[in-house]
Amino acid sequence: MRLVLTGNYAAAYAAKAAKVEVVSAYPITPQTQVVEKLSEFIERGEMNARYIRVESEHSAMAACIGAAMAGARVFTATSAHGLIYMSEMLWWAAGARLPIVMGVITRAMAPPWSIWSDHCDLLSLRDIGWIIYFCENAQEVFDTIIQAYKVAENEEVLLPAMVGWDAFQTSHTAEPVDVLSPDEVSKYLPPRRPLPYVIDFERPFTHGSLCYPDRYMEFRYLMDLSMSKAKKAIVEADEEYGDLFGRKYGGVLEKYLCEDAEIAVVTMGVLSGDARYAVDILRKEGYKVGLVRLRVVRPFPSSELKKELKSKKLVCVIDRNISIGRGGILGTEIKALLKNSSANVVNVVAGIGGRDVSYEDIVNIVKRSLDLVEKGEVPEYMWYGIDKEYVVKAVGEYYEPPAL
C-alpha cells in the first residue's frame, strides 16, 4: 500500500506493522506526531497494543524496560531534551540487554532554545550500548524500524536500537511511502522470543544488582562482543528485507558513484540527498566524486569505511554535530581509521541547529576542501557557514577553530 506520509507517520506505521505490543512515550517537538499517530491506532483498535502514559521521558524508558522484561515488543520515540532526560534509563535498557526500538528525531540542544535538527543529541549517546541507525527519508524510516527489531531481537545481539532521522526535513516532510501490512511483515519478523529472560513470578530474580570489580568488566565485554556481532546481523537483516520486499540500503553504508571516485563525501541523514545532487553537479564539472552515507553509527562500520576510503585523495566528512573542543564526531572517528593511509580527511562541521546546507554549499565545501588539500593546509576541523562579523562583534576577534 502506498501512502503519502511524513517521516514521523512512517515511524508509527512501522511500529504498527512490526506488531509492537507496548508503546510508552512523552511528547516533544519534533517527535510528537509519532506518538499521536500510535495513540490513534491503539485507541481505534487498529493496533493491539497498550499505550502507557507517563509524566516524563525518564519514566517512558522505565516503562519500556518493564514491558520488555515482561516479554513485550516495545516502541518509543523522543528528541533532544527528552532523550537526554531519558539517558540514565537508556544505560539500564542496554545493560539489561532488552531489544527495545526507539525513534530519535534529532534536534539541537538548548540553550539557545531550538527545535531544528542537528545530531548532537543522538551522538552524545553513542557509547552506551545501543545500536544506532540513521535514516535519510520517510521510506527508510519505515523500513529501518522493522529491520531494527530483527537485529535487536537476534539472540546473538540482544541490544536495544535507536533509529534516528532529522527534525522537520525528514520528520515533517510528506513523501510517498510503501507501507507493509502487519501480515506481510510477519513473514520477516516473527513474534518476539522471550529473550534474554522474562519476569517469572514462580522464580523471582533481581536484575542489575551490585556487581564487584571481579565480574563487572565481563558484562561490558559481552555487550561489546554482541555489538560487534550486530554488524553482520544488520547486513543480513537488510539483505533479507530486500529479498522479501524489494528495498535494501547497502547494510551499514550506502555508496553512490564510489567505484572510480578520487574524492569521497561522507554524510549522514537528510543532508545526504543534497550531497547526492552535489555529487552529480561535480561529476558534470569533471570531478571524480562519490558519496558514502553512514546508515549505522554503532556498531561503527570501521572495516567497511576503511576499505572504501583509504585510497581516496580527499575524504570530506560533513558532520551535523560538534564535539565542543574536538570537532565533528564522525570526522574524528574517520580520521582515526585512516591515519596510516594516504587519504586526506577534511572534517567540516555544518548545519548545526538546523542551519540549511544546500547542494550548492556541499559543492562549495568539496571544492574548498580540495583546495586546502592541494595547498597542504588541512586543519583539524572546520566550521562551515559561520557569520564572522557576528563573532568579531561578540568577542572582538576571530581566529580559530577555522571557518570555511
Note the residues at the interface with another protein (CB under 8 A).
95-97, 155-156, 158, 195-197, 203-211, 219, 222, 226
> Which CB sits closer to another protein, 2 or 215?
215
Please report how close the Cβ of residue 87 comes to another protein at its closest, in angstroms: 20
Give me the count of residues in the chain. Answer: 404
Please report how close the Cβ of residue 226 comes to another protein at its closest, in angstroms: 8
Q: Which residues pair with 51 in a beta bridge?
A: 23
Please report how close the Cβ of residue 65 comes to another protein at its closest, in angstroms: 12
Helix (H, G, I), strand (E, B) or coil at 131: strand
> Which CB sits closer to another protein, 210 or 395?
210
> Which CB sits closer to another protein, 214 or 377?
214
Name the residue among 69, 64, 45, 37 with its Cα closest to residue 53.
Answer: 64
> Which CB sits closer to another protein, 139 or 226?
226
Please report how close the Cβ of residue 211 comes to another protein at its closest, in angstroms: 5
Please report how close the Cβ of residue 208 comes to another protein at its closest, in angstroms: 5
**Directed axis angle between helix 216-245 and helix 138-152, to 10°?**
130
Single-letter residue type at 182: P
Please report how close the Cβ of residue 215 comes to another protein at its closest, in angstroms: 8
> Which CB sits closer to another protein, 95 or 401?
95
Q: Which residues pair with 263 in a beta bridge?
A: 289, 314
> Which CB sits closer to another protein, 40 or 224?
224
> Which CB sits closer to another protein, 66 or 250?
66
Please report how close the Cβ of residue 195 comes to another protein at its closest, in angstroms: 6
Helices (H), 128-181: 138-152
> Which CB sits closer to another protein, 222 or 336?
222
Please report how close the Cβ of residue 217 comes to another protein at its closest, in angstroms: 12
DSSP, residue by residue, 171-198: TS--EEEE---HHHHHTTSPPPP--S--
DSSP 9: H
CA 298 to chain centre: 9
> Which CB sits closer to another protein, 44 or 215?
215
> Residue 81, class by beta-carbon neighbours within 10 Å (0-12 exposed, 13-18 middle, 19+ buried)?
middle
Q: What gap in Å lies between CA 31 and CA 380, rounded to an integer?
A: 34
Please report how close the Cβ of residue 92 comes to another protein at its closest, in angstroms: 11
The x, y and z cell numbers of residue 188, run together, are 520477516
- Taking only Cα atoms into account, the Rg of the chain, rounded to an integer number of angstroms, comes to 21
Residues ≥6 apart with Cβ < 8 Å to 39: 23, 51
Q: Give the angle 251-254-255 at the CA atoms, nearest 5°.
A: 135
Phi first, then psi, for residue 385 (nearest 5°) are 85, 20
Name the residue among 294, 355, 363 with its Cα closest to residue 169.
Answer: 355
DSSP 403: B
Residues ≥6 apart with Cβ < 8 Å to 304: 251, 252, 253
The x, y and z cell numbers of residue 193, run together, are 522470543
Please report how close the Cβ of residue 151 comes to another protein at its closest, in angstroms: 16
> Which CB sits closer to another protein, 4 or 222?
222
